[in-house]
Structure 1
Amino acid sequence: MEMDRNTIIGLVLIMVIFTVWQVMIAPSPEEIARQEQITDSLNRVEQLRIDEIADAPTAAPVDLSGLTDSARQARFSSSFGEFATAAAGERKDVLLENDLMKVTFDTKGGFIKQVELKTYFKITENEDGSENKLPLYLLEDEKNRFEYTLPVNGVSGSGIRTSDLYFTPTVEGKTLVMRAPTGNGGFFEQRYTLTDGTYLMDYDLRFEGLNSVLANNGSPISLQWDNYLDKIEKNSSYEANLSTMYFHEMDEGTDYCSCTSSDTEEIDEDVRLKWVAGSQQFFTSALLADNGFAPGATLTTEAYDVDSSEDLKKVSASLSIPVGGSNSEIVGMQLYVGPNEFDRLRDIGYEMSDVISFGWSFFGTINRWIIRPLFDFLSSFIGNMGIAILVLTLIVKLMVYPLTYKMLVSNVKMQLLKPELEKMKAKYKDDQQAQQVQQMKMYQEYGASPLGGCLPMVLQMPIWFALYRFFPASIAFRQENFLWANDLSTYDVLTKIPEWIPFLDGHLSLFAILWALTTVIYAYYNSMHMDYSSQPMMKYFQYVMPILFLGFFNSFASGLTAYLLFSNTFNIAQTIITKNFLIDHDKLKAKMDENKKKPKKKGGFSQRLQEALKEQQAQQAKQQANKKK
């Protein structure tokens, strides 16, 4: 009984830790109020911008056939200054591509309109359960904004927005040059260059002949980047919890806005950022500055109700681009728009791989430098990631088997000691305190320990917690099939069920169900020889626990539930084989009897515990005697 009691205690602790973890990451009432205030503020700002745009001068295409540069200058100079010649033009798409992606640019604003990743796809599900394989686009939302504010002489307010300018495109191989000319022969240029084999593109700004055009010459240029993240993955709720705005301080390291709620991070005026990135579960859009951005920035994540919103989240960055003020100047940057592949992001440098949600704690370190390399090694010669998970489970079990063997020996000792414990309990059947004292004494005499089975479980807990973050964050498992699961990075579906059934999110996961069943089988096998007469509730709780956890794992990554299923299967096999074929019960019993005859050392935890129980027993006896008087 004692061995199983401690196993159950260990499982209860796991459940408590999971519960506490969920409570800790949940926002407090104060945080919720703050998040609502932030959201209201953002909505007001957005409305003000909409109103401002409505009142702004119209930059719609006009018929330019009879409109000379001088006429155009006269027509738009009050609103655009020297950039009046770029205030009207033809809006069109320009395509640039390499072997990995197709990038579509908009000549109005000169920014990226959408990026199609050639080797990745978005899967949508029909009502009948069938799937559609669609192209995967990033930066595709029409509400997106990527615009500079140029303070121009003669123009009131903060300046003109580049999103209102028409850029003249020139394609040179895999390089696209976008220019917005000025009336004095200068121009503002955005140059994009793609290279085969990478999602990282060079992005340079060129200020030519603008030192007399720009007001406050030499001051930083403002950049506003708003990116509405699309729902790409099957489990939008979990995808939202892994999506936010990351940023890297040049002297400090990587940080991020809240992943679970709306949040704003104000960067100090003396802090320079190296990069900012709007990252979701498996894909990232990042902007890196060769020499860092100018000090000060505002990073924002705006959370939505994923059940009612067409967008996953909105991530924004308000940045300042350092400009020296010379007559000809180039600001070097890079854009990364692609998958969260660890090695690819790590090669960029500046801790770019931190956008992958492996975790920031000790468990994140395990994921990055132990589990990830191990899976990379296994996948190099194993074609199926499900088989790789099975092999990983086997490796973990073999590593901890020496401790598992000791646990099972301890379990058998408790089983062999059961007849003696029953005799003792019959002798002291009316005295629970005496039973406890004699029980601890017998453990010490026979060399048995009710805690002997806890260590293997404790040692495996860091692996469990690490894998909890690893499978949903590692793109290696995205849309990887195994058995009935079509995507190991999200839940598998045995069948659809009504949405009103609580905790199950409208489906049943077969991996999660099998995990629960094998957990019950493992608990039943271990408790076959246990005595629950004094604590009958303990017998039933070990069967209730897997059912409680079923609601948690039902919507989790099937890679993890597959691992837990394999782990349970190996546990059952190890237990049956070790107990029945590797442990000699007769020899172990003889060793226990021999150990009982040996003189025992005084002191130690067991001795102190016995003395404490005896003292408690004496006090209770004294209290009962006083009551009789």
Structure 2
Amino acid sequence: MEMDRSTIIGLVLILGIFAVWQYVVAPSPEEIEAQARYQDSITALNDAEMVPADELAPAFTPEDVSALDDSTRQARFGGQFGAFASAAVGSQQDVVLENDLMIVTLNTKGGNIKRVELKNYAKVVEDEEKNEIKLPLYLLESERNRFEYLLPATGVSGPGVSTSDLYFTPQIDGNTVTMRASVSGGGYFEQRYTLTDGTYLMDYDIRMEGLGQAVNAQGGKITLQWDNYLDKIEKNSDYEASYSTIYFKPVDDDTDYCSCTSTDTEEVPEQRLKWVAGSQQFFTSALIANEGFSPGAVLSTETFDDETSPYLKKVSAQLEIPVTNANSEVFGMQMYVGPNEFDRLRAIGYELSDVISFGQSIFGAINRWVIRPLFQFLSKFIGNMGIAILVLTILVKLLVYPLTYKMLVSNVKMQVLKPELEKMKAKHKDDAQQQQVEQMKMYSEYGASPLGGCLPMVLQMPIWFALYRFFPASIEFRQENFLWANDLSTYDVLTTIPEWIPFMQGHISLFAVLWAITTVIYAYYNSKHMDYSAQPMMKYFQYVMPLLFLGFFNSFASGLTAYLFFSNTFNIGQTIITKNFLIDEEKLKAKMNANKKKPKKKSGFGSRLQEALKEQQRIQSEQEKKKGKK
């Protein structure tokens, strides 16, 4: 009973204390009315339309939607926002900054970019009937994006005050928008955006005035957190994702980047960064520091396994802004939000053009300084990029034709020599080693070589590998029409097929099919008289190989498959015309017979090769004798 009485007394005391606490902290009728007006204002703002920049008041006149005076705000929000309590409530509205290329929409809640529309580019989507529909192209538009500074406000626990929780007051001055979050005592944190015509590059500065007592940045820096959810813009989103990541440039080092194919994190604890950029296949959002960000940056990319996700990837940058805790500080930056146009990015400098995925090897150099300038030159005279690809094919074929001619002469030599080789093999049909020795001897005597046709193909391989990276990375081919292809930067669609068919991704590319067919035809003409008796499977593999690669090229850039189709077509034409009209087989045969009668001076390599074959033949003969004795 004693324990029950104590329990009852304790409960009564607790209830009494709770009642007194409720009475003390309960808001006054005036505060209740103010909160109601605040909620009504927010509801009205959610339904309001975007306010153009030229219609905003040009002076700093914060709208007091909460009807709370400074002392009441400080009392209510000071523990969470410190001296920034006066900016904890306000009106949320859109502010537009525009030039001839883009429309930048800023939000007063956070003072950051809400979205950017690129006027000269469009996003293409397909309806249920596979009809293409063009929509406005937006960057930085996801509601899940974050662009916020963590201000270590005095008297606030945790990491500090996030600017995304503050309401900024806009001021318009020509082509400049200033967003300002005030603190008690007259200071402020300011973000300033300036956009001029003819560029996708904005001047972007942050200014801290009179924050010496309000902000205490220990360590001499404040943190900027930038999370950017990359939207799916291109038709082949799987391929687009493989070209999307975050790039960064240390001040005194080469450009680097996170993995393009998997979730990855890169820490830069000791180097200052010049810029960071969230880059997609054809578009980039970059932040460039005038003097460099402080060491300690963390860059990351996150992939999404869910194919239904509207995002390609999430790219993030945690950057450190250097500060000195002075009464007045400015940190200057620039923001590039626009297309991956090589000349435009290169003009900005600081190796920003490295965000274009031309490649970092020798093939990347070929793309940047050979193929790209060549296409740029051709585009001055040719209005269609498909025709420019055709002209490029012709130029390459003319350039390598002298070597192609030698290749075809070598093929004809092998054709002439084929009867003699067959006689030799019949003579030594039971001795494979002797066949090899005699075959090398005949090649030397007649001046023929089975490898004579390889050089032109080897010389063209760097161009093929370079073009493999060039077409999907060059925005000049994006949404460019040619014949049946609507976009030379991605696959063309002859017809759709069921998704369950392996390797074809639900469609058939006509350029890829034409490439496969012409590859088979070219292989037939090129190897018609070659001897495959030693490796008979090679005869069939050259016909199977194009079918195996069809699944790969079926979803690749139609600009590349068009080039390969044109290349094969010219190869076939050159082979037929050269062999039938330019090479006299009888004269070549007479020349080979005359060459046989000439005394031969064996080269060092030829002599060593024949000696090696003879030595191999001797060893094999001795091993067979030993087996016979056993």
Normalising by structure 2, we get a TM-score of 0.88
The residue number in structure 2 matching 1:601 is: 601
Instruction: Report which stretch shifted further, 79-88 or 321-330.
Output: 321-330
Report SS of the residue matched to 2:452: coil
Structure 1: distance between partners of 2:114 and 2:281: 21
The residue number in structure 2 matching 1:17 is: none
Structure 1 position 590, deviation (Å): 1.4
Q: Please give the per-residue CA displacement for 1:371-411, whole angstroms capped at 9, x wherever unaligned.
A: 11111111111111111111111111111111111111111
Q: Is the 8 Å Cα contact of residues 96 and 103 (structure 1) preserved in structure 2?
A: yes
The residue number in structure 2 matching 1:351 is: 351
Structure 1: distance between partners of 2:344 and 2:569: 36
Q: Is the 8 Å Cα contact of residues 287 and 335 (structure 1) preserved in structure 2?
A: yes
Structure 1: distance between partners of 2:556 and 2:590: 48
AA at the equivalent of 2:379:
S
Report SS of the residue matched to 2:86: helix
Structure scoring higher RCO (CA < 8 A, sep ≥ 6) equals: 1
Q: Please give the per-residue CA displacement for 1:152-204, whole angstroms capped at 9, x wherever unaligned.
A: 11212221000010000112222111010111011111010111000000101
> After the TM superposition, which residues 137-286 of structure 1 pair with which residues of structure 2 at under 5 Å, given as runs?
137-216=138-217, 219-268=220-269, 270-286=270-286
Structure 2: distance between partners of 1:553 and 1:65: 61
The residue number in structure 1 matching 2:444 is: 444
Q: Which stretches in structure 2 are left out of the alignment for 5+ residues?
A: 1-37, 43-63
Report SS of the residue matched to 1:293: strand
Structure 1 position 531, deviation (Å): 4.1
The residue number in structure 1 matching 2:98 is: 97
AA at the equivalent of 1:205:
I
Q: Is the 8 Å Cα contact of residues 237 and 306 (structure 1) preserved in structure 2?
A: no
The residue number in structure 1 matching 2:133 is: 132
The residue number in structure 2 matching 1:433 is: 433
Structure 1: distance between partners of 2:408 and 2:367: 29
Q: Is the 8 Å Cα contact of residues 177 and 192 (structure 2) preserved in structure 1?
A: yes
The residue number in structure 2 matching 1:290 is: 290
The residue number in structure 1 matching 2:490 is: 490
The residue number in structure 1 matching 2:77 is: 76
AA at the equivalent of 1:317:
A
Q: Is the 8 Å Cα contact of residues 166 and 181 (structure 2) preserved in structure 1?
A: yes
Structure 2: distance between partners of 1:595 and 1:65: 102
Q: Which stretches in structure 1 are left out of the alignment for 5+ residues?
A: 1-58
Structure 1: distance between partners of 2:295 and 2:539: 62
Structure 1 position 126, deviation (Å): 1.9
AA at the equivalent of 2:571:
N
Report SS of the residue matched to 2:358: coil
Report SS of the residue matched to 1:437: helix
Instruction: Report which stretch shifted further, 64-73 or 352-361.
Output: 64-73
Q: Is the 8 Å Cα contact of residues 150 and 214 (structure 1) preserved in structure 2?
A: yes
Q: Percent identity?
A: 75
Q: Please give the per-residue CA displacement for 1:532-552, whole angstroms capped at 9, x wherever unaligned.
A: 455432221111010011111
The residue number in structure 2 matching 1:620 is: 620
Q: Please give the per-residue CA displacement for 1:515-563, whole angstroms capped at 9, x wherever unaligned.
A: 0000001111223333445543222111101001111111111111011
Query: Against the structure 1 CA distance between its residues 584 and 106, is the aligned structure 2 distance closer, same or farther, given a 3 Å change threshold?
Result: same
The residue number in structure 1 matching 2:470 is: 470
Query: Against the structure 1 CA distance between its residues 189 and 534, is the aligned structure 2 distance closer, same or farther, given a 3 Å change threshold?
Result: closer
Q: Is the 8 Å Cα contact of residues 424 and 435 (structure 1) preserved in structure 2?
A: yes
Structure 2: distance between partners of 1:148 and 1:209: 17
Structure 2: distance between partners of 1:347 and 1:255: 20
Structure 1 position 95, deviation (Å): 1.1
The residue number in structure 1 matching 2:48 is: none
Q: Please give the per-residue CA displacement for 1:45-96, whole angstroms capped at 9, x wherever unaligned.
A: xxxxxxxxxxxxxx98777363223322222122112111100011111111
Instruction: Report which stretch shifted further, 192-201 or 619-628.
Output: 619-628
AA at the equivalent of 2:69:
T
The residue number in structure 2 matching 1:460 is: 460
Report SS of the residue matched to 2:170: strand
The residue number in structure 1 matching 2:587 is: 587
Structure 1: distance between partners of 2:256 and 2:85: 41
AA at the equivalent of 2:99:
N
AA at the equivalent of 1:332:
G
AA at the equivalent of 2:183:
T
Structure 2: distance between partners of 1:84 and 1:564: 64
Q: Is the 8 Å Cα contact of residues 306 and 312 (structure 1) preserved in structure 2?
A: no
AA at the equivalent of 2:361:
S
Structure 2: distance between partners of 1:292 and 1:535: 61
The residue number in structure 1 matching 2:610 is: 610
Structure 1 position 322, deviation (Å): 1.2
Structure 2: distance between partners of 1:293 and 1:508: 48
AA at the equivalent of 1:625:
K
Q: Please give the per-residue CA displacement for 1:273-324, whole angstroms capped at 9, x wherever unaligned.
A: 0000000100000001111111210000111126232210000000111122
Q: Please give the per-residue CA displacement for 1:14-72, whole angstroms capped at 9, x wherever unaligned.
A: xxxxxxxxxxxxxxxxxxxxxxxxxxxxxxxxxxxxxxxxxxxxx98777363223322
Q: Is the 8 Å Cα contact of residues 486 and 492 (structure 2) preserved in structure 1?
A: yes
Structure 1 position 627, deviation (Å): 2.9
The residue number in structure 1 matching 2:388 is: 388
Counterpart check, 1:300 vs 2:296: no
Q: Alpha carbon RMSD of aligned pairs, Å?
A: 1.6
Report SS of the residue matched to 2:294: coil
Structure 2: distance between partners of 1:429 and 1:411: 24
Query: Against the structure 1 CA distance between its residues 427 and 324, is the aligned structure 2 distance closer, same or farther, given a 3 Å change threshold?
Result: same
Report SS of the residue matched to 1:291: strand
Report SS of the residue matched to 2:451: coil
The residue number in structure 2 matching 1:5 is: none
Structure 1: distance between partners of 2:602 and 2:73: 101
Q: Is the 8 Å Cα contact of residues 66 and 90 (structure 2) preserved in structure 1?
A: no
AA at the equivalent of 2:451:
L
Structure 1: distance between partners of 2:363 and 2:223: 38
Structure 1 position 612, deviation (Å): 2.1
Normalising by structure 1, we get a TM-score of 0.88
Larger radius of gyration: 2
Query: Against the structure 1 CA distance between its residues 297 and 533, is the aligned structure 2 distance closer, same or farther, given a 3 Å change threshold?
Result: closer
Structure 1: distance between partners of 2:380 and 2:117: 27
Structure 2: distance between partners of 1:75 and 1:626: 102
Structure 2: distance between partners of 1:527 and 1:360: 36
The residue number in structure 2 matching 1:509 is: 509
Q: Is the 8 Å Cα contact of residues 211 and 217 (structure 1) preserved in structure 2?
A: no
Structure 2: distance between partners of 1:218 and 1:597: 87
> After the TM superposition, which residues 349-388 of structure 1 pair with which residues of structure 2 at under 5 Å, given as runs?
349-388=349-388
